[in-house]
Chains A and B, each alone.
Chain A
Amino acid sequence: MRIDRSHRSWAIAALAVFVVALAAYVPYAFGSRPAGGTAPGLVYGVAGYGMMVFAALLGVRKKVPVWRLGRAQTWMRGHIWFGLLTLPMILFHAGFTFGGPLTSLLMVMLFLVFLSGLTGAAIQHFLPGMMKSLVPLETIYEQIPSVREQLRGEADDLGRVLFAQPGDILAPVTVQVLGGVDWDLSGPKGVTMVEMEAEDRTYAGNVYRNTILPFLRNPDDGASVLADPDSAGKFFEALRRKLPAVAHGVIVDLESICEEERQLTRQRRLYLWMYGWLLVHVPLSIALIVLGGVHAVVALRY
């Protein structure tokens, strides 16, 4: 989520709460030794824990998107700004000390949740825009394996158009993916291939099997000549020079498929950055709330 002008009211509210909390803390801290068990300490603790729970409710809200509980964006803004307040509130609660084993663990977890949240907010602010420019062929992340499978099938068909011998049977799907090229469909079995010299056809087959196919099977392999856009461009340019003009349309399509593969690889990497921090943020947040609840019960009892 971009942090823009729409966050202003939330930011002002959070700042106001922080200023009030700080203004109350200063005389409290100078007048006595702050501790979680004092009346002001308990107020800060309850406020901090309440903000944690509120921030966590964002996850619950996402589980029930059809419930009329306010817009998800509103919940996200509250999550960000009240989540930011949890750290100062808990530090005021604890008097800037870590206490015993459980409270020390909770404080470390709080810092990690806070830092991972800040990191996530920054990533979510900048990366979506970068994604748009770096990955114009972006697809749904979860569809990447499926799309890749289809891209490989598409490339196989195109490749066979290049190097299949007269009489080879091509899959019917070929007809669907060859749009825009004036293919001769009058051959045996209703399909045919680009007419090239046998030598060129063999060369094209070798290039496809040795370079293009391995890259399409493992597009994350950075060692492939096709992993880099510049070297891939030179590679396909050389291929076009080698093969007759009738094959250039297929080569352009293969080049396009490779480019899409590279973008999907880039999308996966960016996706890991965009959502990888959640592997720290979410588990620690949940554990923090559960163990924080234990701490609250035990501390109030003792």
Chain B
Amino acid sequence: MPGRIRATKTLAQRIDREYFKRLFPIPLWRRVLSVAAVCSGLAWLGFRAVAHDHTPYSTGPLTASHAIFAGNCTACHAQGLAIGKKITDGACLSCHDGPVHSAAQTVTPACIGCHVEHRGAGQLLAAESGTCTACHSNLRTKTGKPRVAAGIESFAHGHPEFAALRDGNSDPTAIKFNHKTHVQGDLKVKCIDCHRPAGVDAPWNFGQAPPLSPPVAAAMPHGRTSPRALMQPVNYYEQCSVCHQLNFDDRISDAAPHDKPEVVHAFVTRKLREYIAGHPAELGKAGAPASPEGWVRFRASEDEKQLWTVTCNRCHDLQLAADGALPGVPETKINQRWFAKAEFDHSAHQELQCVSCHPNAPSSTKASDVLLPGIKVCAECHVAGSKGASADCSTCHLYHDWSKTRLADGRFTIRQLM
């Protein structure tokens, strides 16, 4: 029969009344670890402070261009403010210029309102769309009447159709060109045979090196240029010359230059004069004048008539003069820049088929057709918040008017930076 009884009295007698004066393992280690954790953290910060290294307090990595300031917070965070050391525009503007966005703007945000540092490499220039739509979703201007859409909430909401496609606008070019004839039928010219981003240096399939320097790409909006942003402007030598030779007389193999009528006339006259000097037997034949000068004038008149009315007329509507004077050539007005207020980089879209964005190009018969894709085409990929292409304002638009930039006068010495 069991003899042990767990009576309250016997249990109470087992209690060590001094036990609470001693620290048992878990409470003891809790205290030890608490002190150790706090001391470790403070020691880490302390050692860094002694070494004048403030990186522990950084809220994130700097952009690559500011990485040199990583250990020198006061390069930007010291503007002599009474409370705190927040960044002011002065800190930014002492090294960078930030030209005004628009003379009509009613609010000018602080630099750090759009350019948020400590977000890692490559993030500083890409301002959040919210910084733009803060004003453009309900745009107010000093003039009272905005010149741009006043209710843009995002690329998908409120952004107007591109200007070139609005209100029945047409391509202003004075050149006659039929895309359909070139890309369909027997020719089957590819888009890239004639259209390439600026900066691509490769032989042209239907062209040759021009005798003169190629035209300079039009300036980007706000004066800042991107070398690959625009397609190279179409010109006769690179895109047309192999098929459309400017031959003017069966006797002469050289083609006329693609130039002003005066230059063409001088070339034709010179070539005929050289020819008749080597072939005097042709003087007086078939009703031609018997004198060399008369023969040259006669042949030049005939050849230039062919040039002005047929060869040149394929593309240009020449203004023919009734008195035999040289014709006038209207300005071609080939549009090099379709987005007046935005940037577009074809090279960033080179994985796409041209017709996926320009579906009307192969069937276009008139040069006045605007073949620019509409905003809906862009919005197929550029969707805000998706994992696809960015729909941020800064993807296409610049904020600062860089045509008004001023040179910055640096304030650091090399030693101060290192």
Among A35, A181, A302, find the residue whose CB has the most chain B CB atoms closer than 10 A.
A302
Tell whether A9 is near chain B: CB-to-CB under 8 Å. Answer: no
A252 lies within 8 A of B1 (CB): yes
A179 lies within 8 A of B3 (CB): yes
Given contacts A256-B2, A278-B26, A286-B37, contact A32 B16 (CB under 8 A): no
Give min CB distance, B71 to chain A, whole Å. 12
**A/B interface sample: 15 pairs, CB < 8 A:** A32-B130, A33-B128, A99-B58, A102-B57, A139-B14, A143-B16, A146-B19, A177-B4, A179-B3, A249-B1, A249-B2, A276-B26, A300-B84, A302-B73, A302-B85
Tell whether A172 is near chain B: CB-to-CB under 8 Å. Answer: no
Contacts of B30 in A (CB 8 A): 278-279, 282-283
Contacts of A137 in B (CB 8 A): 6
Bound Cα distance A32, B134 (Å): 9
Given contacts A100-B57, A102-B57, A278-B26, contact A290 B6 (CB under 8 A): no
Mark the stretch among B38-46, B143-151, B180-188, B286-294 that contacts chain A: B38-46
Interface residues of B in 185-238 (CB under 8 A from A): none
Bound Cα distance A147, B10 (Å): 11
Interface residues of B in 1-15 (CB under 8 A from A): 1-6, 11, 14-15
Contact mask for chain A residues 265-301; partner B; CB cutoff 8 A; 1 contact, 0 none: 0000001100110110011101100110011001111
Name B's A-contacting residues (CB within 8 A). 1-6, 11, 14-16, 19-20, 22, 24, 26, 29-30, 33-34, 36-38, 40-42, 45, 55-61, 73, 77, 84-86, 116, 118, 128, 130-131, 134
Bound Cα distance A179, B4 (Å): 7
Bound Cα distance A103, B30 (Å): 24
Closest to B130 in A: A32
Chain A: interface residue count, which band? 35 or more
Bound Cα distance A139, B13 (Å): 13
B38 lies within 8 A of A100 (CB): no
Closest to A29 in B: B130
B59 lies within 8 A of A283 (CB): no
Bound Cα distance A100, B15 (Å): 53
Tell whether A140 is near chain B: CB-to-CB under 8 Å. Answer: yes
A257 lies within 8 A of B4 (CB): yes
Contacts of B85 in A (CB 8 A): 301-302
Tell whether A178 is near chain B: CB-to-CB under 8 Å. Answer: yes
Tell whether A97 is near chain B: CB-to-CB under 8 Å. Answer: yes
Additional A-B contacts beyond A30-B130, A276-B26, A290-B42 (7; CB < 8 A): A101-B56, A140-B15, A248-B1, A249-B1, A249-B2, A302-B57, A302-B85
Given contacts A33-B116, A143-B19, A278-B26, contact A99 B37 (CB under 8 A): no
B6 lies within 8 A of A140 (CB): no
Bound Cα distance A276, B30 (Å): 9
Bound Cα distance A100, B175 (Å): 59
